[in-house]
Amino acid sequence: MTMMPAGEMLTQLWSAMAGLMFICAMFKQYVPFDVQTHIEKYTHKLIALVYPYIQITFHEYSTDGWFERSKAYTAIERYLSTNSSTRAKRLKADMVRDSQSLILSMDDHEEIIDEFRGIKLKWASRKTTPNRQVISFYGDNDERMFYKLTFHRRHRDIVTNTYLNHVMEEGKAIEVRTRQRKLYTNNKSEQWVGYRRKIWSHVVFEHPATFDTLAMDPKKKQEIVNDLITFTKSKDYYKKIGKAWKRGYLLFGPPGTGKSTMIAAMANLIEYDIYDLELTAVKDNSELRKLLINTSGKSIIVIEDIDCSLDLTGQRKKKEKEKAEKKDGDKANPIEEEKKKKDAEDSKVTLSGLLNFIDGLWSACGGERIIVFTTNYVEKLDPALIRRGRMDKHIEMSYCSFEAFKVLARNYLDLESHDSFETIRGLLEENKITPADVAENLMPKSSEEDADTCLKNLMEAIERLKEEARLKAEEEEKAKAEEEEERLKAEKEKKKEKEQKSAEEEKEKKTSVAEVKENGEIT
């Protein structure tokens, strides 16, 4: 037999392929659609007879729970990332933890062979674009990613019963190991369209705060740490008592007392993600619910300044509005006003919606969660929102105590003790100063400033604050006295007016009686 030259062989192959494609095109064009479907069905059956392989697909977004990224897909992605990196030829690279190492995973349209108990299984990463003759409104957002697993049908049982479980478990374990903690924030609903929905955007969470660097009463701090750690280990306990595995914390206190810092420290302690929920960007309760469904387990959901985000405290908002109206008078810009009004109308998250979010049926889906609210005005919140069971732990973050100061001195100046500590203790006991102010003063402002200078700065700052507070108190006192004086004056005038009025009335009465008498005499 004579060997065909390579070039000729290639030409023949090309022409055969072109012929096949032509036949396919003709088939699609001229054979009616339902006949095509029938032919396809029987072809599949025929292939199944001779082709002994089974295929399973795992889509990134399943069709029923379409809002949620499939957990199976994520687990497979992780599993294949460790198993594929040595075998696949085209890889995708992503940064992981601390941005120090890369994680490699299989690229789109790449295939790998995995081995399990001597069985060979083929994994392929695929992408489909819907077979439609229209230009997608959402651009290439309609692309769907999926993994396809192919294996021999004689291994069906072992794959479906054992192998897939093994992949899921491994995938989850890898995820925990390589997890890069994230800080999420919610997007406006306009960005929720398409298959690559962006309900939450995230950045890598890298806040350095820890409970060691957090300045507060050590006893209280320990209590919170214990509470958190107990929570993370209590899966079975929560199951036993029939409660969703979640815990609510309410952090309250004046600005600059470390509420946000505490949340970062919490996330760092228990290694949870943070979802920073901006309620003003949420249109209504159903959006709120969607946001919640799309949070993962092991996460802290934070609503900062809950008193400001929502008209939960109707009265306060109204008062503020009235005040603003009075202040602005007629000068208010009508366009601005209109916009504000529209914003207010748009934000229709209600108290009951929020309560449902915290402890409704939805709150139990997806694993352990911590919900944290922060506020500067705890007394203005609706009691329903913060009752125990909803917000399980109320933590007051208050002005800097001496114990808290010692933590800051250790952090900022590496000082355990100093001659001026006693003076500072006295100053802190007498004055209300926030940890943020103390921290600011303890931080060296130039390379020449040493610990002594920083402590001196702090003492001076407290003295200054003391003086400011005294002046403010004096002014307030004065204003109060003036107000009282004016009130008294107004009262006096009112009394006088009343007296005058009654005197006039008396006089009128008398004259009319006299007139009657006079008239009587005449008649």
Residue ranges that bind ligand ATP, judged by CB under 6 A: 214-216, 255-261, 376, 397, 435-436, 439
Element (H or E) spanning 442, and its range? helix 435-442
Partner touching 214 among ligand ATP, Mg ion, none, CB below 5 to 8 Å by kind: ligand ATP
Residue 376 interacting partner from ligand ATP, Mg ion, none (CB closer than 5 to 8 Å by kind): ligand ATP
Residue 256 binding result from ligand ATP, Mg ion, none, given CB thresholds of 5 to 8 Å by partner type: ligand ATP
Does 375 bind Mg ion (CB under 5 A)? Our answer is no
Query: Shortest Cβ distance from residue 275 to ligand ATP (Å)?
Result: 17
Least distance in Å: CB of 246 to Mg ion? 22
Least CB distance to ligand ATP at residue 341 (A): 27
- Give me the residue whose beta carbon is nearest to ligand ATP: 258
Least gap, CB of 463 to ligand ATP (angstroms): 21
Alpha-carbon gap, residue 391 to 354, rounded angstroms:
12
Within residues 283-302, the interface with Mg ion by CB under 5 A covers none
At 223, the amino acid letter reads E
List 273's β-bridge partners, or say none: 299
Which region, judged by CB under 5 A, interacts with Mg ion, from 60-68, 92-100, 255-263, 454-462? Answer: 255-263
d(CA 371, CA 384): 16
Answer with the entry of ligand ATP, Mg ion, none that 216 interacts with (C-beta below 5 to 8 A by kind): ligand ATP
Measured distance CA(522)–CA(344) in Å, rounded: 75
189 binds, among Mg ion, ligand ATP, none (CB under 5 to 8 A by kind): none
Q: Which of 70, 125, 260, 309 binds Mg ion (CB under 5 A)?
A: 260
Q: Positive or negative CA dihedral for 16, 22, 28, 30?
A: negative
Closest CB 461 distance from ligand ATP, rounded Å: 14
Nearer to Mg ion, 259 or 369 (CB): 259
Compute the least distance from the CB of residue 204 to ligand ATP, in Å.
19
Cα separation, 172 vs 79, in Å, equals 8
Choose the stretch contacting Mg ion; rule: CB under 5 A; options: 149-157, 238-246, 257-265, 380-388.
257-265
* Single-letter residue type at 219: K
- Whether 358 and 225 have beta carbons less than 8 Å apart is answered as no
Residue nearest Mg ion by beta-carbon distance:
260
Instruction: Give min distance, CB of 427 to ligand ATP, in A.
Output: 18
Q: How far is the CB of 374 from ligand ATP (least distance, A)?
A: 6
261 binds, among Mg ion, ligand ATP, none (CB under 5 to 8 A by kind): ligand ATP
Q: Please say whether the beta carbons of 109 and 202 come within 8 A.
A: no
Residues in the chain: 523
Q: Which two tokens stand for residue 103?
A: 């994680």
* Distance between CA atoms of residues 286 and 293, nearest Å: 11
Q: What DSSP string runs through 124-160?
A: EEEEE----SS--TTGGGG-EEEEEEEEEGGGHHHII
The one of Mg ion, ligand ATP, none whose footprint includes residue 258, by CB under 5 to 8 A per kind, is ligand ATP
CB 207 within 8 A of CB 267: yes
Burial 380-400 (b: 16+ CB within 10 A, else e): ebbeebbeeebbbbebebbbb
Is residue 116 within a helix (H) or strand (E), and if so which, with residue range? strand 111-116
Instruction: Kindly list the residues in this chain that would bind Mg ion in the complex (CB under 5 A).
Output: 259-260
